[in-house]
Amino acid sequence: MQGHLVERGLALLQEIPEVWPSKAPARIHPIYDDLRTALRTPDVPFAFRFLAHWPPYLAYTIRQFSPFVRSRAFEDAADTLRAEGASALAQTPQNPAFESVRALVLREHYLAPKVLLILTAFAVGLRGRTSETAPPLGTTLPTPEPIPVRPAELPRALDERITSLPEIGLRSGKAQALLDELAALRGIPSLDDLSRVLAVQDLGALSALNGLRRTLHADALEATRHLLLERADRATRRLTLPGSKVLPDFMVPHSALPDIEAVVTALQAIALEVLIDATLGRVAMDGASAAQRSPYPITVGAQQDTGA
């Protein structure tokens, strides 16, 4: 991940407001509905509330990519990230502090790999495939051969098992201190839903998360980050990515693309840390074996279809 882009994106994220669904302009509502029913979640994850600062960009990318989110190949890719994370963090000790926020941890363990995959696809689309070094011959596909990509094979739905976000309001001084500590341990600001909800809902769990972070060895953590990003990159390259060359045709000014790329790269870096933290919480609650798969596996027909 490109450090200068992350730094620039983080600076921009301090300047642009989140677009919450309750206050979103009318033209954002269909985009959010598309995203929610593709992810099957009752609300909009943090990254897309920031990207809504550029409505034409978010509209184009979600419209192009949401059919791939509704595929078994995408579900399989998300489980691959969960399994890699759980394997890398398998030595995480059991900790009862997360039981009080079980629904939140499961929500984030379900969403985090999917958000990382989407942001990785956006980042690769903005950079362009040709800017990346091709993998060696014979290593372009993992073994065994992955599930075929069939866009929109899964119905749109909202999964009632996934908890809604509570209101993320004002934080106490102690909560802010714990968030600042987590940001230092992550090496990136805590702008995500997991950390911010913990800061208003359960300081004990947030403190426990910081404690688990402190047990991670720097070299092993960096290797885990690299592995998860590599797996996400490989998975998204099997999909049709929303590329940058056509964005001006969809009312995205060419002059805005550098800022968008920087913010997407920064959000991707944050999403990676959220996946690590959600995995730590899941392993601490249920063990590494359970953390290798989705807490909410999709069974077609189990939830109400909301349209094609």
Q: Report helix, strand or coil for 83.
A: helix
Q: How far is CA 283 from the centre of its chain?
A: 18
Q: Is 60 exceeded by the pLDDT of residue 239? A: yes
Q: Is 50 exceeded by the pLDDT of residue 303? A: no
Region 223-227 average pLDDT: 97
If pLDDT is split at 50, 70 and 90, which confidence band does 308 have?
Answer: very low
Measure the CA–CA gap between 30 and 189, rounded to whole angstroms: 29
Dmax of the chain from CA atoms? 54
If pLDDT is split at 50, 70 and 90, which confidence band does 76 have?
Answer: very high
Residues 40-63: b if buried by 16+ CB within 10 A, e if exposed: bbebbbbbbbbbbbbbbbbbbbbe
Task: Give the pLDDT confidence of 166-182 residue by residue, as tens digits.
Answer: 988 878 999 999 999 99
Region 256-267 average pLDDT: 96
Least confident of 21-30, 108-117, 164-173, 271-280: 164-173
Q: Can the peptide bond before residue 136 be classed as cis, meaning omega within 30 degrees of 0?
A: no
Least confident of 8-12, 65-69, 133-137: 133-137
Return the pLDDT at 159: 96
What angle (nearest 5°) sits at the alpha carbon of residue 293, between those of residues 267 and 233?
40
Task: Give the pLDDT confidence of 2-44 residue by residue, as tens digits.
Answer: 889 999 999 999 999 999 999 999 999 999 999 999 999 999 9
Return the pLDDT at 178: 98
Q: Is 80 exceeded by the pLDDT of residue 263? A: yes
Measure the CA–CA gap between 252 and 131, rounded to whole angstroms: 21
Measure the CA–CA gap between 207 and 93, rounded to whole angstroms: 15
Region 156-167 average pLDDT: 94
If pLDDT is split at 50, 70 and 90, which confidence band does 307 have?
Answer: very low
If pLDDT is split at 50, 70 and 90, which confidence band does 304 have?
Answer: very low
Residue spans per domain, the chain: 3-132+165-292
What mean pLDDT is reported for the chain? 91
Least confident of 101-105, 118-122, 136-140: 136-140
Measure the CA–CA gap between 41 and 56, rounded to whole angstroms: 22
Return the pLDDT at 191: 95
Return the pLDDT at 301: 53
Least confident of 61-70, 124-133, 158-167, 234-243: 124-133
Q: Is 70 exceeded by the pLDDT of residue 296? A: yes
CB atoms near residue 305 (< 10 Å) = 12
pTM score: 0.92
